[in-house]
Amino acid sequence: MAAKIGVHRHTLENWEKQYPEFLDALSRAKALEQMWWEDAGQDGMTADKFNNGVWSRSMAARFPDEWRETSNSHVTGTMQVTEIKRTIVDPRNSDA
């Protein structure tokens, strides 16, 4: 977003701290961004070609509070076991 409007990203961070109305607008824009990506994922489920792995990782990186992946590795004897846990919280269906 900063690049699009021609400012440094730290400028946006400073504006967030300095101007409550800018923080509010940015929060609304972030919610719209998340809705767009979630809709794209739903559309992708019925598409001929959809890379759900890339989409899922993108969601976890963009929206870590609602879409996250964690992994836990441990060694048992001579074998390494990796457990990947996906926690997906859809804020549209959340009571929180």
User: How much is the pLDDT for 57?
Assistant: 86
Average pLDDT of the chain, as a whole number: 82
User: How much is the pLDDT for 56?
Assistant: 87
Question: What number of residues does the chain have?
Answer: 96
Report the interhelical angle of 9-18 vs 20-44 (nearest 10°).
120
Q: pLDDT band for position 27 (50/70/90)?
A: very high
Residue identified by tokens 């269906």 is 93
User: How much is the pLDDT for 83?
Assistant: 61
Residue 54, domain extent: 2-93
User: How much is the pLDDT for 65?
Assistant: 83
42-88 pLDDT, tens digit each: 888 888 888 888 888 889 888 888 887 666 666 666 665 556 665 66
Top-confidence residue, 96 or 32: 32
User: How many domains does the chain contain in total?
Assistant: 1
| Distance in angstroms (rounded) separating the CA atoms of residues 26 and 28 | 5
| Distance in angstroms (rounded) separating the CA atoms of residues 85 and 78 | 23
